[in-house]
């Protein structure tokens, strides 16, 4: 059994709700869709028990009906485990993961600025990457963002 | 007349001091500007000197598509320069916004905020093109 | 900076009463830095959003221009994700050409870095030498691709231009020449006491901190972390090539210098292997313009470290989402740690040592003197000059070395 398949099995065994939600795309690429309310458990297990000791990036995205966040974890620089959660579009909120990875700070700020996702537990701080005087509630990465017409 | 002899000609009249300012560029043009000052191209030989402060500069070489964060600072730096002063837009982004034209957070070419005396196209503008463009500007000023 | 025991408010271009967006905010107690924070966003252009309203081919040209030093890194990282989603297997020859351009890019980038580092510490002849050497690579890249930077070599399905027979000799000759020059720089780096003294124990980043803060590339490898995407998660032709991952246990700027020098030597060998092993055949496969729904993660070892791209496709000619995490973003978080309890005079070289992908030339530095409760903002150039003169007072002066090297030029 490959490492990737082992990870799939361990996740599905530990968290029964992940059955059929973990996909081995290819070598070094495992994807899993995680229910939001269970996210912290799965994340914690991946980091503490499955050896995922690095966070490459966090991708926020607008999925149309909902917003999504993908946490791209990696193990020893080799294998990436990509955990996706879906968020309610009206009140999108996730908990910070800076307690696991201090470096996540800047990736979380990016989601706040560009998608308007609230990150609970993230220390108040600077904007990134938008300028300080960018209008509030104006999130360019949202699919329905009308800003381009303004700036054209 | 070759580029080099043109430069020699005019450097006897005036050696411009230039300020280099990046308005949100990818750095390609910035590196080519600095490369223009290194031995292979050696703009410095002709008295063109890179300066750190706007107050000492005659020419401001601008790269980049002017991001919103940088726009007001660019204007202020220009205001600190003493007359006569000239703005040179280096590269496609500085000329017109380049590939970033239409991106949010980008104003566009340098001429959206400052009067531009010369445009040097290229993505990036090569060191030879930069020297050629600066020489053309200085020659035109003589006339 | 100190002068006869007093705390002086440094002179230099100041911008009082302006709501100057500070780039570096440094808190000082005397000459020592107590805290450092860096504000990014100056180069934020809105590329990810723009990608969604352009075709994949147009996006190749846009993404190449995220950074004018590692443009091929970004382009390749992106196109790999697209090809994976579409299930496209590119020809072997294309993989090797991408590898060739990638290593040539690493070579020019590391030589550029050496020059910039030299400039930051006042060792300007190093800038002249390394940037002269770098021109050899720029010429080859221009000859192979048509441009010195932003090569446009990639397309979805392979590469757009082939290597011609007469390129082979030029490339091998260039590797021989640059290898000689790099050996000289390595000798300089291991024997010139001024250089060693200036760079050692500066910008310390322990292995644990490097890991915790997510550092990548030479910055992480100089803290003993043996990670390199080319080895760990191979792409292009790397699985078929032989090379070492260069690390150092020094955890300082000197270590970062040694790692980059070592990587240059590995790159010369990789280029030679590519020229020897490159298979014949087509350089591209035909693909449709629409990419089927799907998502992929792509990783690439850029000169500065791991470049990370995520692409989501929706069956059209345009991507649904493109996410780019450039290596500098991963490394920038470690910088505050590196500056803690260090001298202000170390600021320029410590920042330069992560090889940041943002132009330092005009960044403003705000110094917050905590003992006198004063804040002042200065141009980077002012801080750099003050740093050089401060070290001169400590007996670390490059004047003699500059003179000696200028004679050899």
Distance from CA of B101 to the nearest CA of A (A): 9
Q: pLDDT tens digit string along B33-62?
A: 988 888 778 777 766 777 777 887 889 999
Residue range(s) defining the domain that contains residue A84? 3-139
Nearest CA in chain A to B71: A131
Interface test with C, best of B19, B31, B71 (most C CBs within 10 A): B31
When pLDDT is cut at 50, 70 and 90, the band that residue C11 belongs to is: very low
Virtual torsion, Cα C112, C327, C229, C134, nearest 10 deg: -10
Residue range(s) defining the domain that contains residue B112? 14-142
Q: What is the pTM of this model?
A: 0.92
Pairing of strands C305-313, C294-302: antiparallel
> What average pLDDT does range C99-118 have in this prediction?
96
Q: Reduced to 3 states, what is the DSSP secondary structure of residue A25?
A: strand
Q: Which of residues 107-166 of C touch B (CB under 8 A)?
A: 112, 127-128, 131-132, 135, 147-150
Answer whether residue B1 is part of any domain: no
Q: Among A127-131, C104-108, C158-162, whose mean pLDDT is lowest?
A: A127-131
Domains identified in chain A, total number? 1
Q: pLDDT tens digit string along A42-82?
A: 999 999 999 999 999 999 999 999 999 999 999 999 999 99
C263 pLDDT higher than 90: yes
Answer whether residue A144 is part of any domain: no
Q: Looking up tokens 């070492």, which residue turns up? A: C244
Answer whether residue A148 is part of any domain: no
Q: Looking up tokens 């955890």, which residue turns up? A: C251
Residue C296's pLDDT is what? 98
Nearest beta carbon to residue A102 from set C44, C321, C333: C333
When pLDDT is cut at 50, 70 and 90, the band that residue B13 belongs to is: very low
Q: pLDDT tens digit string along C334-377?
A: 998 999 889 999 999 999 998 887 655 557 788 888 888 888 88
Between residues C30 and C195, the one the model is more confident about: C195
Whole-angstrom Cα distance, residue B56 to residue B15?
A: 12
Answer whether residue A133 is part of any domain: yes
Answer whether residue B95 is part of any domain: yes
What DSSP character marks residue C284? Answer: B
Cα Rg of chain B (Å, integer): 14
What residues contact C93, with CB distance under 8 A and at least 6 apart?
Answer: C162, C278, C279, C280, C281, C282, C283
Residue C409's pLDDT is what? 65
What residues contact C191, with CB distance under 8 A and at least 6 apart?
Answer: none
Answer whether residue A9 is part of any domain: yes
Q: pLDDT tens digit string along C232-262?
A: 999 999 999 999 999 999 999 999 999 999 9
Residue B3's pLDDT is what? 62
Answer whether residue B67 is part of any domain: yes
Q: For C124-177, give the DSSP string.
A: HHHHHHHHHHHHHHHHHHHHHHS-SS----EETTEES-PPPHHHHHHHHHHHHH
Distance from CA of A105 to the nearest CA of B (A): 21
Q: Reduced to 3 states, what is the DSSP secondary structure of residue C215?
A: coil
C44 interfaces chain A, CB cutoff of 8 Å = yes
Residue C367's pLDDT is what? 87
User: What CATH number is given to the structural domain containing A80?
Assistant: 3.30.460.80
Question: Which residues of chain B have a CB within 8 Å of the CB of A151?
Answer: 102, 104
C408 pLDDT higher than 90: no
When pLDDT is cut at 50, 70 and 90, the band that residue C13 belongs to is: very low
Whole-angstrom Cα distance, residue C100 to residue C97?
A: 5
Angle between helices C327-339 and A104-115 (to 10 degrees): 130
Whole-angstrom Cα distance, residue B67 to residue B137?
A: 26
Q: pLDDT tens digit string along C24-62?
A: 888 999 889 998 888 887 778 889 999 999 999 999 999
Token readout for C270 is 């990789």
User: What CATH number is given to the structural domain containing B116?
Assistant: 3.40.50.12280
Domains of chain C, earliest start first? 2-42+330-396 (no CATH), 47-329 (1.10.645.10)
Q: Which of residues 320-349 of C touch A (CB under 8 A)?
A: 320-321, 323, 325, 329-330, 332-333
Q: Looking up tokens 């002042």, which residue turns up? A: C376
Answer whether residue A62 is part of any domain: yes
Answer whether residue B6 is part of any domain: no
For residue B89, which of B134, B43, B54 has the smallest C-alpha distance? Answer: B134
Answer whether residue B55 is part of any domain: yes
Domains identified in chain B, total number? 1
């Amino acid at each position: 059994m490959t490492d990737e398949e082992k990870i799939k099995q361990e996740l599905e065994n530990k968290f029964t709700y992940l059955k059929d939600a973990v996909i081995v795309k290819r070598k070094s690429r495992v994807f899993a869709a995680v229910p939001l309310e269970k996210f912290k458990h799965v994340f914690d297990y991946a980091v503490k028990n499955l050896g995922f000791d690095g966070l490459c990036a966090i991708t926020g995205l607008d999925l149309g009906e909902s917003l999504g966040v993908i946490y791209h974890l990696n193990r020893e620089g080799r294998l990436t485990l990509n955990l996706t959660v879906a968020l309610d579009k009206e009140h999108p909120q996730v908990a910070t993961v800076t307690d696991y990875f201090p470096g996540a700070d800047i990736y979380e700020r990016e989601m706040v600025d560009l998608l308007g996702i609230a990150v609970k537990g993230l220390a108040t701080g600077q904007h990134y990457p938008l300028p300080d005087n960018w209008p509030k509630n104006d999130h360019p990465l949202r699919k329905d963002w009308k800003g381009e017409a303004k700036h054209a | 007349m070759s580029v080099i002899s043109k430069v020699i000609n005019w450097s006897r009249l005036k050696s411009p001091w230039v300020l280099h300012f990046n308005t949100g560029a990818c750095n390609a043009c910035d590196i080519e500007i600095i490369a223009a000052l290194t031995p292979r191209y050696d703009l410095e030989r002709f008295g063109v000197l890179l300066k750190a402060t706007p107050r000492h500069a005659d020419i401001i070489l601008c790269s980049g598509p002017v991001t919103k964060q940088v726009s007001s600072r660019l204007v202020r730096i220009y205001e600190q320069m003493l007359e006569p002063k000239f703005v040179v837009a280096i590269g496609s982004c500085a000329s017109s916004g380049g590939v970033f034209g239409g991106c949010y957070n980008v104003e566009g070419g340098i001429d959206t905020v400052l009067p531009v005396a010369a445009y040097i196209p290229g993505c990036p503008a090569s060191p030879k093109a930069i020297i050629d463009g600066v020489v053309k500007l200085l020659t035109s000023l003589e006339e | 900076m100190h002068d006869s025991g007093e705390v002086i408010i440094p002179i230099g271009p100041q911008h009082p009463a302006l709501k100057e967006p500070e780039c570096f905010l440094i808190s000082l107690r005397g000459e020592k830095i107590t805290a450092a924070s860096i504000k990014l966003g100056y180069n934020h252009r809105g590329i990810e959003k723009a990608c969604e309203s352009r075709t994949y081919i147009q996006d190749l040209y846009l993404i190449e221009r995220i950074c004018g030093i590692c443009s091929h890194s970004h382009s390749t990282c992106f196109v790999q994700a697209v090809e994976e989603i579409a299930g496209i297997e590119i020809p072997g020859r294309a993989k090797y050409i991408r590898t060739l351009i990638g290593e040539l890019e690493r070579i020019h980038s590391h030589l550029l870095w050496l020059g910039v580092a030299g400039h930051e510490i006042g060792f300007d002849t190093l800038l002249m030498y390394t940037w002269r050497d770098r021109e050899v690579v720029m010429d080859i890249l221009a000859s192979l691709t048509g441009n010195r930077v932003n090569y446009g070599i990639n397309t979805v399905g392979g590469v757009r231009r082939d290597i011609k027979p007469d390129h082979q000799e030029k490339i091998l000759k260039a590797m021989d020449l640059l290898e000689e020059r790099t050996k000289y720089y390595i000798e300089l780096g291991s024997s010139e006491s001024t250089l060693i003294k200036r760079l050692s124990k500066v910008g310390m980043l322990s292995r644990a901190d490097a890991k915790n803060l997510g550092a990548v590339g030479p910055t992480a490898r100089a803290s003993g972390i043996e990670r390199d995407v080319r080895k760990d998660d191979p792409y292009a032709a790397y699985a078929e090539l032989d090379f070492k991952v260069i690390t150092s246990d020094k955890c300082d700027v000197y270590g970062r210098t040694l790692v980059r020098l070592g990587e240059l030597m590995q790159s010369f060998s990789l280029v030679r292997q590519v020229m020897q092993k490159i298979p014949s055949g087509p350089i591209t496969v035909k693909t449709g313009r629409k990419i089927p729904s799907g998502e992929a993660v792509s990783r690439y070892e850029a000169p500065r470290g791991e470049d990370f791209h995520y692409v989501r496709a929706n069956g059209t000619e345009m991507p649904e989402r493109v996410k780019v995490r450039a290596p500098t973003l991963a490394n920038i978080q470690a910088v505050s740690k590196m500056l803690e309890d260090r001298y202000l005079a170390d600021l320029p070289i410590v920042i330069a040592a992560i090889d940041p992908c943002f132009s330092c030339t005009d960044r403003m530095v705000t110094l917050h003197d905590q003992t006198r409760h004063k804040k002042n903002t200065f141009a980077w150039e002012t801080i750099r000059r003050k740093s050089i003169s401060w070290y001169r007072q400590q007996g670390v002066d490059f004047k003699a070395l500059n003179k000696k090297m200028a004679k050899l030029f």
